[in-house]
Structure 1
Amino acid sequence: MGILQKAAKILFVSVHLVLLSGCWDRTEVNDLALIVGLGIDQKKDGRIMLTTELIVPQAVGGGQMMGGGGGGGGGVQTLARSGTGATVADAISNLQEKLPRRVFWGHTKVIVFGERAAKAGIRQHLDFLSRNPQIRLRSNVLVSKGTAKSVFELLPPIEQSSAEVLRELSESKLLMQVTIKDILQMLSSDAGAAALPMVKILPPEKGKKDRQTIAFIQRTAIFKKDKMIGDIDDKLTRGVLWLRNEIKRANITVTLTGEKGNITSTMLRAHTEFIPKYEKGKWKMIVKATTEDDIILNGTKLDLLNPKYTKMIEKELEKEANKRIQAALKKVQKEMKADIFGFADIFHRKYPREWNRVKNRWEQIFPDVEVIVKTKAYVRRPGVNSAPQGLPEQEVKQ
């Protein structure tokens, strides 16, 4: 028994020594270059230029700041580094040669395509990004007016990095927000069309240096297959958001016939319903858009607690929403002929047999699809009945 007990103790100690040996293949954070932003540009010779925005560890973790990079506030927080190659993978290899740390993509917040790269085609770049296990599919994807490199070379006055600026703007949902997962789904849909938010560099304030500014989301880039064919402005983008059932935030200003002053509402909730119809070889889509709003500004003399005036405001809001949707249809459906609304998928689900007969000709059929738009607005909170702030009471009553 004594020998068996002794052997058992030795085995017990040996097993625990193995368990306490630590992670033999560990990678210390001090050995990693943490990427927060990735820019993809195409040069004139067709080669790919990759620009990364990296966190400066000393700037984030300590009190001292390092020079030579991006970021704002109290000091430089990030820096931009570039590499070139025949593909994104080759460009990363070239970039790695210039960095003393191993590149790590797990913190990447945004991917920005330069305008030339977007027009040449983004499918192969997305293929690489989707295969890389470190890159998160929820990272935001955008297109830059000009080069992506110029975006990450900026010195934002508030946020720590340009990547954080673009992430915050994307998640505000004032215009479009698209992730890697979203763009992959759009390009693999029946329509094969896609839309990405487009950023432009804001001119710096007077007295500031050229790079002391931010890039902001101003437009939307439209893609057929994987190539950018054009772009639309912010007003048309809001119409597109209605037609994609993605409208989250919007203010609408209207005037009532015979009344002086403006009334502005802000959106509480919105929903768009799509009813596809196929009759006698004709494709038709009924779009029912509903919005619920608060009144946030009353520049008139009207008592908005009176249901009569509330109904009048609702009618004007319906007209304005309809106007925005119709403008988006005219530009994107009739002129650009890109089904970024996902009509093809809706028709496919409702009429699979009929769809299969025309799927190869959808690009020619889509511009002629009849779209009937029906809008409905509800004013939920018209606000208290009081005189506009800052105006004498006698002036309001005139």
Structure 2
Amino acid sequence: MISKPEAVVRGWGVILMVTVSACLLSGCWDRVEVNDLATITAAGIDQYSDNLIEVSLQIYTPPRAGSSTDMSGSEEKNSQNQSTVISATGVNIADAVSKIQEKVPRLLFWGQVEVFVLGHEIVKRNIAGHLDYILRVPQIRGSALIFASRTKAKEILALTPQLRSNSADMLEESNNLKLNLTMSVGKLNIMLEGGNGTGILPSVDIMPPPEGQPSNRRYPAIVGCAVLKQEKLAGFIDEKTMRGVMWFRNQIDKVTVTIAAGSAKAPISVLLNRGKSKLKPRISNGVWEVLVEVDTREILIQNTSRIDISRLKGTQIVEEKVKQDIEKIMNKTLSIMQRKMNADVLGFGEAFHRKYPKLWEKEKGNWDEIFPQVKVKYEIKTVIINPGKRESPTTSRKNGEGG
């Protein structure tokens, strides 16, 4: 049984411990209220002059309290741009951002930025110094998307697309569809460091308004990619070549392939349900080789030919044509990267580095001479797993081909 004096001592001990612990807690002395933050959703960087750049920040503008809604319940924000673009010039990003902060009565907050757009002139010069700021600021996440613009980045951010609240939101959602090559800030940094300044960025441009719509209905869209060499622009590639890069890099997803088949060369379209590709490097007798293994599963979505997909021969005809189309796209992409740009955005260097780490350390300085000479072979497997809701072609079955 505890005596009364001992209980008093223990009680005071507990009080003392709680008091000391409370003094050591940081509490909320450095808190910043949400209402005091200017949330950045996107940032654009343009070349303003020889010595100055222009930084444009797209800042989220919350809807006004009590905004009107229509009878269907859709909010006013669906027809209004929910962002404000503020710009300033400086010798670097940090300098320009500090000037923007002077214009904004709230603390700039980078924690929600999802999109970075690099203007055409910025990409033509060198992006290394600008990436340093993006990668160094703790609030900026490595998963933020980065694009190269074929026009001024400021113009991209200022667009007010119909289907989304702002241009950054539209670019982010386009990325989520996985129809185009995607690149995050973190992945780009790894790619540039591992490939001696070689990288690739989705390129974005301003599309004209739909027919009959006013000029302010222009919208941003991804149109191919910008290829980087020594951290600056080597050239642009179109959407078809971009698909080839995605095949090599195992980034292909939902894509429609249309081929001409049958005696009438009628178009047949298949939707890629699943696609995987793998690079298998090999060095033999001083020859550097890569075997590209592609395994795909497709769904037939339109058949305007007389080929009967319900018969084995008809299925094999379509699968072979799809295989040839994939190989043709990859060969064209390979030719552009090896002979025209000499830029390894296909992942060959990464594959050789993983398999031959010691030899790679010795030869990586000569990769610009080795890469154009790398021999490539293909093993492509295509399988149609679903003919859709109907198996027979639109034309009469008795006139069908393939069986």
TM-score (norm 2): 0.88
CA distance in 2 between counterparts of 1:114 and 1:132 reads: 21
User: In the alignment, is residue 115 of structure 1 matched against residue 126 of structure 2?
Assistant: no
- Partners of 2:399 and 2:218 lie apart in 1 by 42
Any residues of structure 2 matched to 1:354-393 within 5 Å, and which? 354-383=359-388, 384-386=390-392, 388=394
Q: 1:244 aligns with which of 222, 239, 249?
A: 249
Report the Cα distance in structure 1 between the residues aligned to 2:211 and 2:305, rounded to whole angstroms. Answer: 37
Distance (whole Å) between structure 2 residues aligned to residue 128 and residue 17 of structure 1 = 38
The correspondence for 2:297, drawn from 282, 292, 296, is: 292
Out of 149, 157, 161, which is 1:152 matched to?
A: 157
Q: Is the CA contact 1:191–1:344 (under 8 Å) kept in the aligned structure 2? A: no
- 1:341-356 matches, within 5 Å, as 341-356=346-361
Question: Do 1:191 and 1:342's aligned partners in 2 also have CA atoms closer than 8 Å?
Answer: no
Asked if structure 2 preserves the Cα contact closer than 8 Å seen for 1:191 and 1:345, the reply is: no
Other structure's SS at 1:156 match: coil
Letter of the aligned partner of 1:240 in structure 2? V
Residues 1:20 and 1:257: Cα distance change in structure 2 (over 3 Å): closer
> For residues 282 and 251 of structure 1, do their structure 2 counterparts lie closer, same or farther at Cα, with a shift above 3 Å needed?
same
Question: Aligned ranges for residues 171-210 of structure 1 at < 5 Å?
Answer: 171-210=176-215
Amino acid at match of 1:154: L
Does structure 2 conserve the Cα–Cα contact (< 8 Å) formed by 1:111 and 1:139? yes
Distance 2:130 2:154 in 1: 16
- Relative to structure 1, the CA distance from residue 16 to residue 375 in structure 2 (aligned partners, 3 Å threshold; closer, same or farther) is closer
User: Shift of the alpha carbon at 1:78?
Assistant: 0.8
Change (3 A) 1:335 1:387: closer
C-alpha RMSD of the superposition:
2.9
* 1:301 Cα deviation after fit: 3.0
| Conserved 8 A contact 1:387-1:396 | no
Residue identity matched to 1:63: S
| Cα deviations by residue, 1:181-200 (Å, 9 ceiling, x for unpaired) | 11011001145311000001
Q: Percent identity?
A: 34
Partner of 2:342: 337
SS in 2 for 1:296: strand
Q: Deviations over 1:89-138 (max 9, x none)?
A: 11110111111111001110100100111111111111111111111110
What amino acid sits opposite 2:98 in the alignment?
Answer: S
- Which residue of the partner structure matches residue 88 of structure 1? 93
| Separation of aligned partners in 1, 2:22 and 2:144 | 42
Change (3 A) 1:23 1:189: same
Q: Is the 8 A contact 1:58 1:64 kept in 2?
A: no
Mapped partners of 1:8, 1:274: distance in 2: 67
> Aligned pair 1:223/2:221, yes or no?
no
For 2:361 and 2:82, locate their aligned partners in 1 and report how far apart those are by CA, in whole Å.
54
Q: Deviations over 1:315-341 (max 9, x none)?
A: 101100000000101111211000011
* Structure 1: unaligned runs, 5 residues or longer: 66-70
Superposed displacement of residue 256, structure 1: 1.9
Aligned residue in 2 for 1:63:
67
Give me the whole-angstrom Cα distance separating, in 2, the residues matched to 1:206 and 1:175: 25
Among 319, 322, 327, the alignment partner of 1:322 is: 327
Does residue 233 of the first structure (1) align with residue 242 of the second (2)? no
Q: What is the Cα deviation at residue 228 of structure 1?
A: 1.2
Q: How many residues align?
A: 389
Answer whether contact 2:309 2:315 (CA < 8 A) is retained.
yes
Question: Is the Cα–Cα contact under 8 Å of residues 309 and 393 in structure 2 kept in the other structure?
Answer: no
Q: Which amino acid aligns with 1:49?
A: E
Match of 1:50 in 2: 55
Q: Which runs of 5+ in 2 are unaligned?
A: 70-75
Pair 72,16 (structure 1): closer, same or farther in 2 beyond 3 Å: same
Distance in 1 of aligned mates of 2:100 and 2:27: 32
The equivalences for 1:251-290 within 5 A come to 251-259=256-264, 261-290=266-295
1:24-83 CA-partner distances (Å, limit 9, x unpaired): 221001111000011011123231111011111244x65179xxxxx9733231110011
Answer whether contact 1:251 1:265 (CA < 8 A) is retained: yes
2:308/2:315 contact within 8 Å kept:
no
1:354 CA drift (Å):
3.3
**Secondary structure of 2:385's aligned partner:** strand
CA distance in 1, matches of 2:286, 2:393: 57
SS in 2 for 1:107: coil
Rounded to whole Å, the distance in 2 between the matches of 1:159 and 1:286 is 42
TM-score, normalised on structure 1? 0.89
- The answer to whether the Cα contact below 8 Å between 1:174 and 1:248 also exists between their aligned partners in 2 is yes
Of stretches 315-324 and 338-347 in structure 1, the one that deviates more from structure 2 is 338-347
Q: Matched residues in 1 for 2:20 and 2:361: separation?
A: 63
Q: CA deviation at 1:21?
A: 10
The aligned counterpart of 1:68 is none
Moved more, 253-262 or 39-48: 253-262
Aligned amino acid, residue 382 of structure 1: P
Give the direction of change, closer, same or farther, for the CA distance of 1:379–1:93 in structure 2 (3 Å limit). Answer: same
Deviation (angstroms), 1:170? 1.5
Among 29, 32, 35, which residue is 1:30 paired with? 35
Question: Are the equivalent residues in 1 in contact too, given 2:303–2:393 (CA < 8 A)?
Answer: no
SS at match of 1:262: strand
Letter in 2 for 1:385: E
Distance of aligned partners of 1:13 and 1:258 in 2 relative to their CA distance in 1, 3 Å threshold: closer
Contact 2:259 2:321 in 1 (8 A): yes
Q: Distance in 1 between matches of 2:289 and 2:175?
A: 33
Question: Which region of structure 1 is more displaced relative to structure 2, 73-82 or 134-143?
Answer: 73-82
